[in-house]
């Protein structure tokens, strides 16, 4: 075992032959605890946990952590230590960004699961890491234990990817698949997800697409080499989806999932997050409960799929430790991750797809004719009309599907429809992905 010294962390690059990689863990919550346990129980002689940093650290101490590990609430002391790798698991933007920058500036490599930080600052942090001869890995920031980020950055880097789509939020997928399987109301499915610990008390970030679009921005960075501000990606909520929508979707051979998608075409990134109709027998249609799925499309390698548990302490911890081992191998071998050049494309949500329009109306003569006229005025072609019997005339659901058209063509028509006197609820407009 290599002898510990007090040399500055900035000289870690020069000690490429060192037998031991020293690791400092900042954040000892659910994931941090699992990471520490894996590191302590792995028996890997090349990895040594040296520091655990957390607020109120005295209450966090565990007897299964080796006695030589330093417990502290002083982040600066960790950053000034001889640790080679800093694991950041506190989340959020502040003070996480300052911690990462200080660690990289001092020549320490960093592993993080912080999706919000990587989504917003990833390109700049990667450039900083490269300039300091160290590494920044963030495989756990998307899809938990599913190794999609390492695959994008290494396994698929020889391909030219042009498309990424995924089920990236386990909370939404649980709720939608629960409505599908039990035909329960949205509110009941949400309450069940909260009771099972899949959803927070305030689940807005999940339900309204904020979580998924931050993850999509990271996937676009890692796979499409594009710089995307998460807020520039349109996010649509799943809240209006009703059990009856799954009945109509089934008639179309489909189901409904929250899909995050990004396609790079001629310098424009078409990106969107929200509920979509997908074929029931497709990879997306078969994903149930809180699993995640990512599909990539490449010029040479074609389509690839990554499926697995997208959340939870242990799966996410496995992704973190895998990143740590990857960094440690790079330190030992003198290899450095080079930040790829990234482009800053224009962002658009103007996809061309077929569309599903679901209406709740007060039944009266001429409804279909008035809707058809509005659609015709905007040069939109109806593909089918579906109406199930047995509903009250005061709140009657029916569906119109449209032939492929651009989002920008459709929305002026929807604005006109919103003012019609027979509408009981706003029209639910969902893309149909084939």
What per-residue confidence (pLDDT) applies to 16?
43
Q: How far is CA 304 from the centre of its chain?
A: 17
Q: Tell me the pLDDT tens digit for each residue of 261-307.
A: 999 999 999 999 999 999 999 999 999 888 899 999 998 889 999 99
- Residue 122 per-residue DSSP state: H
What per-residue confidence (pLDDT) applies to 235?
97
* DSSP secondary structure string for all residues of 275-288: EEEEETTSHHHH--
Catalytic residue, candidates 3, 108, 215, 393: 215
What per-residue confidence (pLDDT) applies to 340?
55
What per-residue confidence (pLDDT) applies to 368?
95
Of the candidates 81, 212, 218, 69, the one whose C-alpha atom is nearest the C-alpha of residue 137 is: 218
Cα four-point dihedral sign 207, 209, 212, 214: negative
115 is catalytic: no
Mark the ranges of the chain whose per-residue pLDDT is less than 50: 1-17, 336-339
What per-residue confidence (pLDDT) applies to 276?
98
What per-residue confidence (pLDDT) applies to 335?
52
pTM exceeds 0.85: yes
- Sketch out the chain's domains with CATH numbers: 9-144+313-333 (3.40.50.720), 158-310 (3.30.360.10), 352-431 (3.30.70.260)
What per-residue confidence (pLDDT) applies to 13?
40
What per-residue confidence (pLDDT) applies to 338?
44
110's tokens:
């960093």
């Amino acid at each position: 075992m290599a002898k510990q010294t007090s040399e500055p962390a900035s000289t870690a690059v020069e000690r490429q032959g060192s037998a031991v990689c020293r690791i400092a863990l900042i954040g000892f919550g659910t994931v941090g605890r699992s990471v520490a346990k894996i590191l302590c129980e792995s028996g890997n002689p090349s990895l040594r946990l040296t520091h655990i940093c957390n607020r109120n650290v005295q209450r966090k101490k565990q007897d299964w952590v080796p006695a030589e590990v330093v417990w502290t609430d002083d982040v600066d002391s960790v950053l000034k230590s001889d640790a080679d790798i800093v694991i950041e698991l506190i989340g959020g933007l502040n003070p996480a960004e300052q911690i990462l920058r200080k660690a990289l500036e001092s020549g320490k490599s960093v592993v993080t699961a912080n999706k919000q930080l990587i989504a917003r600052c990833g390109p700049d942090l990667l450039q900083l890491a490269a300039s300091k001869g160290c590494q920044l890995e963030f495989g756990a920031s998307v899809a938990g234990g599913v190794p999609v980020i390492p695959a994008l950055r290494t396994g698929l880097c020889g391909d030219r990817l042009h498309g990424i789509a995924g089920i990236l939020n386990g909370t939404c997928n649980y709720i939608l698949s629960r409505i599908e399987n039990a035909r329960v109301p949205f509110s009941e499915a949400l309450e069940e997800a909260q009771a099972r610990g899949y959803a927070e008390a305030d689940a807005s970030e999940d339900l309204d697409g904020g979580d998924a679009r931050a993850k999509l921005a990271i996937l676009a960075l890692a796979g499409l080499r594009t710089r995307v501000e998460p807020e520039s990606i349109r996010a649509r909520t799943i809240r209006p989806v009703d059990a009856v929508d799954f009945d109509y979707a089934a008639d179309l051979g489909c189901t409904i999932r929250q899909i995050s998608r990004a396609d790079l075409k001629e310098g424009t990134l078409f990106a969107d997050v929200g509920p979509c109709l997908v074929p029931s027998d497709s990879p997306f249609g078969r994903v149930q409960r809180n699993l995640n799925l990512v599909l990539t499309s490449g010029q040479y390698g074609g389509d690839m799929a990554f499926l697995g548990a997208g959340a939870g302490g242990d799966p996410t911890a496995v992704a973190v430790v895998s990143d740590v081992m990857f960094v440690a191998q790079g330190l030992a071998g003198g290899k450095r991750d080079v930040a790829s050049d990234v482009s800053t494309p224009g962002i658009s949500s103007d996809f061309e797809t077929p569309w599903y329009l679901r209406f709740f109306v007060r039944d009266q003569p001429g409804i279909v004719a008035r809707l058809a006229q509005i659609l015709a005025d905007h040069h939109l072609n109806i593909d089918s009309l579906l109406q199930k019997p047995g509903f009250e005339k005061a709140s009657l659901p029916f569906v119109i599907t449209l032939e492929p058209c651009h989002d920008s063509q459709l929305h002026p028509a929807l604005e006109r429809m919103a003012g019609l006197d027979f509408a009981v609820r706003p029209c639910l407009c969902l893309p149909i992905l084939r």
